[in-house]
Amino acid sequence: MSILVLAEHHDGQLAGATAHVVAAAQAIQQDSGGDIDILVVGENVATIAEAAAKLDGVSKVRVADNAVYAHQLAEPVGALLVELVNDYGHILAAASTTAKNIMPRVAALKDVSQISEIVAVDAADTFKRPIYAGNAIATVRSTDVLKVITVRSTGFDAVGTNGNASVETVDTVVENSQSTFIRQELAESDRPELAGAKVVISGGRGMGNGENFKLLDGIADKLGAAIGASRAAVDAGFVPNDMQVGQTGKIVAPELYIAVGISGAIQHLAGMKDSKVIVAINKDEEAPIFQVADYGLVGDLFEILPELESRL
Protein backbone atom coordinates (compact mmCIF):
# COMPACT_ATOMS: atom_id res chain seq x y z
CA MET A 1 0.00 0.00 0.00
CA SER A 2 1.15 3.52 -0.71
CA ILE A 3 1.86 6.25 1.80
CA LEU A 4 0.26 9.69 1.72
CA VAL A 5 2.00 12.69 3.25
CA LEU A 6 -0.04 15.80 3.98
CA ALA A 7 2.10 18.80 3.04
CA GLU A 8 2.62 21.38 5.77
CA HIS A 9 2.54 24.90 4.43
CA HIS A 10 1.85 28.45 5.46
CA ASP A 11 2.20 31.90 3.91
CA GLY A 12 2.42 30.35 0.44
CA GLN A 13 5.53 28.37 1.36
CA LEU A 14 6.11 24.67 1.82
CA ALA A 15 7.19 24.26 5.46
CA GLY A 16 10.51 22.57 6.19
CA ALA A 17 8.72 20.03 8.37
CA THR A 18 7.33 18.32 5.25
CA ALA A 19 10.80 17.07 4.27
CA HIS A 20 11.14 15.45 7.70
CA VAL A 21 7.77 13.74 7.31
CA VAL A 22 8.82 12.35 3.93
CA ALA A 23 11.88 10.89 5.68
CA ALA A 24 9.56 9.11 8.12
CA ALA A 25 7.50 7.90 5.15
CA GLN A 26 10.68 6.49 3.57
CA ALA A 27 11.43 4.57 6.76
CA ILE A 28 7.98 2.97 6.51
CA GLN A 29 8.44 2.37 2.79
CA GLN A 30 11.63 0.38 3.48
CA ASP A 31 9.51 -2.11 5.38
CA SER A 32 6.24 -2.10 3.47
CA GLY A 33 7.10 -0.81 0.00
CA GLY A 34 4.62 1.29 -1.97
CA ASP A 35 4.85 4.81 -3.31
CA ILE A 36 5.04 8.04 -1.36
CA ASP A 37 2.56 10.68 -2.50
CA ILE A 38 2.22 14.20 -1.15
CA LEU A 39 -1.10 15.97 -0.85
CA VAL A 40 -1.12 19.76 -0.95
CA VAL A 41 -4.42 21.22 0.23
CA GLY A 42 -5.26 24.90 0.27
CA GLU A 43 -6.04 27.87 -1.91
CA ASN A 44 -3.51 29.13 -4.48
CA VAL A 45 -1.02 26.42 -3.66
CA ALA A 46 0.59 25.83 -7.09
CA THR A 47 4.04 27.04 -5.98
CA ILE A 48 3.82 24.90 -2.86
CA ALA A 49 3.07 21.87 -5.02
CA GLU A 50 6.14 22.65 -7.17
CA ALA A 51 8.31 22.76 -4.08
CA ALA A 52 6.81 19.50 -2.81
CA ALA A 53 7.56 17.80 -6.16
CA LYS A 54 11.28 18.42 -5.58
CA LEU A 55 11.41 16.43 -2.35
CA ASP A 56 13.44 13.22 -2.73
CA GLY A 57 11.55 9.95 -2.70
CA VAL A 58 8.17 11.37 -3.68
CA SER A 59 6.32 9.71 -6.58
CA LYS A 60 3.40 12.04 -7.03
CA VAL A 61 2.11 15.34 -5.74
CA ARG A 62 -1.66 15.65 -5.55
CA VAL A 63 -3.04 19.16 -5.36
CA ALA A 64 -6.45 20.14 -4.02
CA ASP A 65 -6.66 23.86 -4.71
CA ASN A 66 -9.97 25.44 -3.81
CA ALA A 67 -11.34 28.33 -1.75
CA VAL A 68 -13.07 25.86 0.59
CA TYR A 69 -9.62 24.64 1.67
CA ALA A 70 -8.25 28.13 2.42
CA HIS A 71 -6.76 28.30 5.92
CA GLN A 72 -6.94 24.49 6.04
CA LEU A 73 -9.93 24.34 8.36
CA ALA A 74 -10.37 20.90 9.90
CA GLU A 75 -13.91 20.22 8.65
CA PRO A 76 -13.34 20.53 4.87
CA VAL A 77 -9.75 19.23 4.82
CA GLY A 78 -10.74 16.29 7.04
CA ALA A 79 -13.63 15.46 4.72
CA LEU A 80 -11.34 15.63 1.67
CA LEU A 81 -8.77 13.33 3.25
CA VAL A 82 -11.45 10.80 4.11
CA GLU A 83 -12.27 10.68 0.38
CA LEU A 84 -8.64 10.22 -0.65
CA VAL A 85 -7.15 7.88 1.94
CA ASN A 86 -8.77 4.70 0.64
CA ASP A 87 -5.83 4.25 -1.72
CA TYR A 88 -3.30 4.34 1.09
CA GLY A 89 -2.10 2.22 4.00
CA HIS A 90 -0.48 5.10 5.85
CA ILE A 91 -1.22 8.79 6.08
CA LEU A 92 1.42 10.99 7.66
CA ALA A 93 1.65 14.65 8.59
CA ALA A 94 3.92 16.88 10.63
CA ALA A 95 2.90 17.29 14.26
CA SER A 96 2.02 20.93 13.64
CA THR A 97 -1.07 22.70 14.95
CA THR A 98 -2.61 22.37 11.47
CA ALA A 99 -2.22 18.61 11.24
CA LYS A 100 -2.97 17.96 14.92
CA ASN A 101 -6.27 19.68 14.22
CA ILE A 102 -7.14 17.67 11.10
CA MET A 103 -5.65 14.18 11.41
CA PRO A 104 -7.57 12.83 14.43
CA ARG A 105 -10.76 13.84 12.62
CA VAL A 106 -9.74 11.73 9.65
CA ALA A 107 -8.77 8.80 11.89
CA ALA A 108 -12.11 8.83 13.70
CA LEU A 109 -14.09 9.06 10.45
CA LYS A 110 -12.18 6.00 9.20
CA ASP A 111 -12.69 4.27 12.57
CA VAL A 112 -8.96 3.88 13.22
CA SER A 113 -6.63 5.14 15.94
CA GLN A 114 -4.11 7.88 15.43
CA ILE A 115 -0.50 7.52 16.49
CA SER A 116 0.70 10.95 17.59
CA GLU A 117 4.16 12.47 17.27
CA ILE A 118 6.25 9.46 16.32
CA VAL A 119 10.03 9.91 16.71
CA ALA A 120 11.11 6.59 15.16
CA VAL A 121 9.83 3.89 12.81
CA ASP A 122 10.63 0.33 13.95
CA ALA A 123 8.50 -1.29 11.23
CA ALA A 124 5.60 -0.30 8.99
CA ASP A 125 3.24 -1.02 11.89
CA THR A 126 5.50 -0.28 14.89
CA PHE A 127 6.53 3.15 16.05
CA LYS A 128 8.19 4.93 18.94
CA ARG A 129 6.63 8.00 20.51
CA PRO A 130 7.27 10.04 23.63
CA ILE A 131 4.69 10.01 26.43
CA TYR A 132 4.53 11.78 29.81
CA ALA A 133 6.15 14.96 28.48
CA GLY A 134 8.97 12.98 26.92
CA ASN A 135 9.89 11.25 30.19
CA ALA A 136 9.14 7.85 28.68
CA ILE A 137 9.29 6.45 25.17
CA ALA A 138 6.48 4.09 24.18
CA THR A 139 6.76 1.51 21.40
CA VAL A 140 3.33 0.89 19.90
CA ARG A 141 2.04 -1.42 17.22
CA SER A 142 -1.07 -0.71 15.19
CA THR A 143 -3.05 -3.39 13.37
CA ASP A 144 -5.47 -0.84 11.94
CA VAL A 145 -5.90 -1.11 8.15
CA LEU A 146 -5.09 2.58 7.81
CA LYS A 147 -2.35 4.06 9.98
CA VAL A 148 -2.91 7.73 10.71
CA ILE A 149 0.30 9.21 12.05
CA THR A 150 1.71 12.58 13.03
CA VAL A 151 5.47 12.93 12.93
CA ARG A 152 7.71 14.87 15.28
CA SER A 153 10.09 16.54 12.81
CA THR A 154 13.04 16.47 15.18
CA GLY A 155 13.02 12.65 15.10
CA PHE A 156 13.83 12.44 11.36
CA ASP A 157 16.43 14.13 9.13
CA ALA A 158 14.96 16.10 6.24
CA VAL A 159 15.13 14.51 2.78
CA GLY A 160 16.90 16.37 -0.02
CA THR A 161 15.31 18.43 -2.78
CA ASN A 162 16.55 16.81 -5.97
CA GLY A 163 13.31 15.02 -6.74
CA ASN A 164 11.09 15.38 -9.75
CA ALA A 165 7.64 14.05 -8.88
CA SER A 166 4.63 14.39 -11.14
CA VAL A 167 1.91 16.82 -10.13
CA GLU A 168 -1.78 16.03 -10.56
CA THR A 169 -4.93 17.88 -9.64
CA VAL A 170 -7.49 16.55 -7.20
CA ASP A 171 -10.90 17.79 -8.21
CA THR A 172 -12.78 16.71 -5.10
CA VAL A 173 -14.51 19.67 -3.52
CA VAL A 174 -16.37 19.26 -0.26
CA GLU A 175 -18.85 21.62 1.34
CA ASN A 176 -18.32 23.33 4.64
CA SER A 177 -21.16 25.14 6.36
CA GLN A 178 -19.95 24.50 9.91
CA SER A 179 -16.85 26.64 10.27
CA THR A 180 -15.74 30.00 8.89
CA PHE A 181 -12.34 31.66 9.02
CA ILE A 182 -12.51 35.15 10.50
CA ARG A 183 -8.95 36.40 10.90
CA GLN A 184 -5.47 35.55 12.00
CA GLU A 185 -2.76 37.49 13.75
CA LEU A 186 0.65 36.14 12.96
CA ALA A 187 3.75 37.17 14.87
CA GLU A 188 6.19 38.95 12.55
CA SER A 189 9.73 37.64 12.52
CA ASP A 190 12.77 37.76 10.22
CA ARG A 191 14.47 35.03 12.19
CA PRO A 192 14.56 31.34 11.28
CA GLU A 193 11.52 29.25 12.11
CA LEU A 194 11.80 28.07 15.72
CA ALA A 195 11.17 24.39 15.05
CA GLY A 196 13.78 24.20 12.28
CA ALA A 197 16.50 26.54 13.57
CA LYS A 198 20.06 25.27 14.07
CA VAL A 199 20.50 27.50 17.11
CA VAL A 200 17.80 28.55 19.56
CA ILE A 201 18.17 31.03 22.38
CA SER A 202 15.29 31.10 24.85
CA GLY A 203 14.39 33.39 27.70
CA GLY A 204 12.42 32.56 30.81
CA ARG A 205 10.87 34.34 33.74
CA GLY A 206 14.37 35.45 34.75
CA MET A 207 14.31 37.92 31.83
CA GLY A 208 12.14 40.10 34.06
CA ASN A 209 10.03 41.70 31.32
CA GLY A 210 9.35 41.69 27.58
CA GLU A 211 11.66 44.66 26.97
CA ASN A 212 14.63 42.64 28.23
CA PHE A 213 14.09 40.03 25.52
CA LYS A 214 15.87 42.57 23.27
CA LEU A 215 19.05 41.45 25.05
CA LEU A 216 18.68 38.19 23.12
CA ASP A 217 18.32 39.90 19.72
CA GLY A 218 21.98 40.75 19.14
CA ILE A 219 23.11 37.27 20.13
CA ALA A 220 20.42 35.66 17.95
CA ASP A 221 21.53 37.82 15.01
CA LYS A 222 25.16 36.83 15.41
CA LEU A 223 24.32 33.12 15.70
CA GLY A 224 21.52 33.07 13.13
CA ALA A 225 19.34 31.77 15.94
CA ALA A 226 15.62 31.67 16.55
CA ILE A 227 14.35 33.10 19.82
CA GLY A 228 12.18 30.97 22.06
CA ALA A 229 10.66 31.31 25.50
CA SER A 230 9.52 29.26 28.44
CA ARG A 231 5.86 29.04 29.36
CA ALA A 232 6.54 31.24 32.39
CA ALA A 233 7.77 34.03 30.09
CA VAL A 234 4.75 33.63 27.83
CA ASP A 235 2.26 33.52 30.70
CA ALA A 236 3.85 36.61 32.22
CA GLY A 237 3.11 38.36 28.91
CA PHE A 238 6.77 38.98 28.04
CA VAL A 239 6.45 37.45 24.56
CA PRO A 240 3.73 35.93 22.33
CA ASN A 241 2.83 32.28 22.85
CA ASP A 242 4.03 31.08 19.45
CA MET A 243 7.56 31.46 20.87
CA GLN A 244 6.89 28.90 23.60
CA VAL A 245 9.13 25.86 23.74
CA GLY A 246 7.76 22.91 25.70
CA GLN A 247 5.23 20.12 25.95
CA THR A 248 2.42 22.52 25.18
CA GLY A 249 4.38 24.69 22.77
CA LYS A 250 6.97 23.84 20.14
CA ILE A 251 9.36 20.92 20.26
CA VAL A 252 12.86 21.86 19.12
CA ALA A 253 16.09 19.91 18.73
CA PRO A 254 18.69 22.38 17.46
CA GLU A 255 22.47 21.96 17.41
CA LEU A 256 22.72 24.51 20.18
CA TYR A 257 20.06 25.52 22.69
CA ILE A 258 20.81 28.40 25.03
CA ALA A 259 18.42 28.67 27.99
CA VAL A 260 18.58 32.05 29.70
CA GLY A 261 16.80 32.62 33.00
CA ILE A 262 14.88 29.35 32.60
CA SER A 263 14.63 27.07 35.63
CA GLY A 264 14.01 23.90 33.60
CA ALA A 265 10.54 22.63 34.53
CA ILE A 266 9.54 19.18 33.14
CA GLN A 267 7.16 20.92 30.75
CA HIS A 268 9.98 23.00 29.23
CA LEU A 269 12.50 20.16 29.10
CA ALA A 270 9.98 18.14 27.07
CA GLY A 271 10.39 20.69 24.31
CA MET A 272 14.17 20.94 24.12
CA LYS A 273 16.01 18.09 25.79
CA ASP A 274 16.87 16.43 22.47
CA SER A 275 19.00 19.42 21.51
CA LYS A 276 22.58 18.45 20.68
CA VAL A 277 24.25 20.91 23.04
CA ILE A 278 22.43 22.73 25.82
CA VAL A 279 23.80 25.84 27.51
CA ALA A 280 22.16 27.21 30.65
CA ILE A 281 22.64 30.70 31.97
CA ASN A 282 20.99 31.13 35.34
CA LYS A 283 21.77 32.86 38.61
CA ASP A 284 20.37 29.96 40.65
CA GLU A 285 22.99 27.23 40.65
CA GLU A 286 20.40 24.73 41.94
CA ALA A 287 18.10 25.26 38.94
CA PRO A 288 17.11 21.88 37.38
CA ILE A 289 18.17 23.15 33.95
CA PHE A 290 21.80 22.58 34.99
CA GLN A 291 21.10 18.83 35.25
CA VAL A 292 20.56 18.63 31.50
CA ALA A 293 22.90 21.41 30.39
CA ASP A 294 26.21 20.49 28.80
CA TYR A 295 27.58 23.86 29.79
CA GLY A 296 26.26 25.90 32.65
CA LEU A 297 27.14 29.43 33.56
CA VAL A 298 25.95 30.66 36.94
CA GLY A 299 25.49 34.40 37.05
CA ASP A 300 23.38 37.44 36.36
CA LEU A 301 22.01 37.29 32.83
CA PHE A 302 21.96 41.08 32.63
CA GLU A 303 25.76 41.06 32.86
CA ILE A 304 26.36 37.86 30.94
CA LEU A 305 24.19 38.55 27.86
CA PRO A 306 25.86 41.83 26.80
CA GLU A 307 29.27 40.27 27.39
CA LEU A 308 28.32 37.19 25.36
CA GLU A 309 27.06 39.37 22.52
CA SER A 310 30.27 41.39 22.41
CA ARG A 311 32.49 38.30 22.42
CA LEU A 312 30.74 36.39 19.66
Annotated binding site: 205, 230-231, 244-248, 261-268, 282
Using rule CB under 8 A, residue 124 touches another protein = no
* Beta-bridge partner residues of 2: 88
Identify residues 135-194 at the interface with another protein (CB under 8 A).
135-144, 177-187
Min dist CB 92 to another protein, Å, is 15
> How would you classify residue 151: left for phi > 0, otherwise alpha for psi between -120 and 50, otherwise beta?
beta
Cβ partners under 8 Å of residue 300, min gap 6: 283
Q: Which helix (H) or strand (E) holds 198?
A: none
Count of residues engaged in binding another protein, rule: CB under 8 A? 90
DSSP state of 33: -
Site string for another protein, 227-256 (x = CB under 8 A): ----x--xx----xxx----xx-x----xx
Other Cβ atoms closer than 10 A to 189:
13
| Cβ nearer to another protein, comparing 4 with 301 | 301
Residue 279 found at the interface with another protein (CB under 8 A): yes
| Least spacing, CB of residue 168 vs another protein, in Å | 27
DSSP secondary-structure letter at 79?
H
Under rule CB under 8 A, residue 67 binds another protein: no
Query: Contact between 126 and another protein (CB under 8 A)?
Result: yes
Binding-site annotation: residue ranges for FAD: 205, 230-231, 244-248, 261-268, 282
Which residues lie below 8 Å from residue 220, measured CB to CB, with a gap of 6+?
191, 199, 201, 226, 227
13 is a contact residue toward another protein (CB under 8 A):
no
